[in-house]
Amino acid sequence: MFHKDLGETGKRLFRDFPVLRMLWESGRKKGIAELVETVRRAEEFKRNYALPYALELDKRMEEEPEYFDWEIMRQACRYRFLSIFIPKQLGGSAGEFMVTNTSLLMDELCSGCSGMALAIGAHSLGVAPLVTSGAMGHWDRILGEIVEGERKMEPVTMAYAITEPSAGTDVEEPEFLEVAKLSLEARKVQGGYVLNGRKCFISGGSEAKYVTVCAALDKSRPLETWTTFLVERGMKGFSSPRVELKMGQRASHAAELLFEDVFVPDSHVLGYEGDGMANGILMIMAASRGPVGAIATGIARSAFEHFLRWAKTRRNGKRPIDEDRIRMNLADFWGMIQENRGLYMSNAMLGDSIFGKVLAAPVMVLTLSLPSFVRTNKVMNDFLNSRYGKAMVNAIMRYYIKDEDITQLLETASLAKFSCSDNAMELCSRALNLMGPDDSEERRWVEKAYRDAKLTQIYEGTNQLNRLVVNNVRFEETLKVEVPRPFKKGVVS
């Protein structure tokens, strides 16, 4: 039975997502209540900020692509959206259902403005490699800084940089990475690495204080040397020289990043040398492609809601919804949205069942329960950033995260990503065709949704690549994600 304390938001979610009601009735009330509260806050953000401002901001950023509205991020701080992927033990708001929480947040925010939502979501994507790689030596300093900035409404953001000018989708799949034309290379030097080259189309890259960057140590052997680095704004030689003029999701910048002899210390390697395809790409894609499906679903919801409002408005004494063709399309549209929700929720719930085991591991709980000054003292910090400290965290991950589980998560994420985004494009296209050349605000919203939805077919790997991932995992069994092994020869130097 629905609990009245969850309010109208809970009532709607239980109706739209029966699985949430099942989990509530099975006794997982605290976790479900946290999900409902996240969506309630997202509804408030949408009502008070996104809907009144989205069309105006979209137009402004078409004319001034370099403009960025920091009020988006300050409002994100107010509603605690920047710590959505940070464990509660570190002051964040990630609870029992961390991946599901993120997916539901993106769905709701994108039904208001997907550009604003991407500005927020791209930050969580930047945080993800810091968490999934087990880079605990940086958790208190960087994740703590994000949480503190959120509390003060002074946003500290991160970004995730993998795409290169001549290697976009190629860097997201092992087979393609081997033949990718890479422009960024990291060279080992005493005490660290020197990065030279470019990244492009990086969401939030022009604003982020911290960027998680993947690069090859040897461009002739990219798969064996692909490594994840933490780069900080202010490092000599690191800059973001330009942002793109975008067609959709304009409120979030897509930036070019330039690395000119950027020195990155050894401590800023996330994981080990050469494990970047597993830790830095595939595990991230397994956790993030499902939320991209949620982004597409939210955009589809926006188009649907504005189309429905248009259909109920009288024109020349008639309402479009009185026609059977409109009614049948509305049913089709709702079916697409519910199909999308089933796909991305399936991935999110599986992700929570996998990653939740790591955060609940006794040694992890014990470590995170230590006072901050203990975790951040030089001895502990040096240990956590050492090969032995990383091996300890990695051993925990390998114990709780099985290769077959993370591989299945990647499959469900890729399936959700391409199915949800294709459905969103189909819904928006059909809605525009049915509305015709109507000059109304509702049609402008649907037109914006059409432009916004197109990007979901491209980022986090094109839909063509994601179809190949599903084929390679499900039918040919040629793709398997391997959680890096501590002290494996060639992994730990």
Residue 55, number of CB atoms within 10 A of its CB: 14
DSSP 8-state symbol, 108: H
Distance between CA 298 and CA 423 in Å, rounded?
A: 11
Residue 407, number of CB atoms within 10 A of its CB: 20
490 has a pLDDT exceeding 50:
no
Mean pLDDT of the chain, nearest integer:
92
Distance between CA 422 and CA 458 in Å, rounded?
A: 11
Position 313, amino acid: T
Q: What is the DSSP string of 122-189?
A: HHHHHHHHHHHTT-GGGIIIIIHHHHHHHHHT----EEEE--BTTBSGGGGSHHHHTT-----EEEEE
Residue 117 in contact with residue 82, Cβ under 8 Å? no
Per-residue model confidence (pLDDT) at position 156: 97
DSSP reduced 3-state for 93: coil
pLDDT in tens, 65-87: 999 999 999 999 999 999 998 98
Per-residue model confidence (pLDDT) at position 487: 53
Distance between CA 82 and CA 127 in Å, rounded?
A: 9
Residue 72 in contact with residue 328, Cβ under 8 Å? no
134 has a pLDDT exceeding 80:
no
Query: Is 65 or 382 the better-scoring residue by pLDDT?
Result: 65
Per-residue model confidence (pLDDT) at position 491: 35
The number of residues making up the chain comes to 493
DSSP reduced 3-state for 95: coil
HSE, CB side, 13 Å, CA atoms: give it for residue 43: 12
pLDDT in tens, 282-310: 999 999 999 999 999 999 999 999 999 99
CA distances from 425 to 54, 449, 462 (A): 20, 9, 14
CA distances from 86 to 46, 47, 152, 276, 468 (A): 23, 25, 17, 21, 31
Nearest partner of 61 among 295, 296, 209, 247, judged by Cα: 247
All residues at 6 or more sequence positions from 161 whose CB lies less than 8 Å from its CB, including other chains: 199, 202, 205, 211, 212, 213, 214, 231, 257
Mean pLDDT of 361-378: 81
The DSSP element (H or E) to which 482 belongs, if any, is none
Mean pLDDT of 412-420: 98
DSSP reduced 3-state for 378: helix
For the chain, list the domains and their CATH numbers. Answer: 4-157 (1.10.540.10), 160-268 (2.40.110.10), 281-475 (1.20.140.10)
Residue 251 in contact with residue 276, Cβ under 8 Å? no
All residues at 6 or more sequence positions from 368 whose CB lies less than 8 Å from its CB, including other chains: 87, 89, 90, 375
pTM equals: 0.95
Per-residue model confidence (pLDDT) at position 370: 80
DSSP 8-state symbol, 322: G
Residue 415 φ then ψ, to 5°: -65, -45
End-to-end alpha carbon distance in the chain: 56
pLDDT band at 89 (very low <50, low <70, confident <90, very high): confident
DSSP reduced 3-state for 82: coil
Nearest partner of 205 among 461, 420, 416, 459, judged by Cα: 459
Distance between CA 432 and CA 442 in Å, rounded?
A: 10
Mean pLDDT of 230-243: 97
Mean pLDDT of 227-246: 96
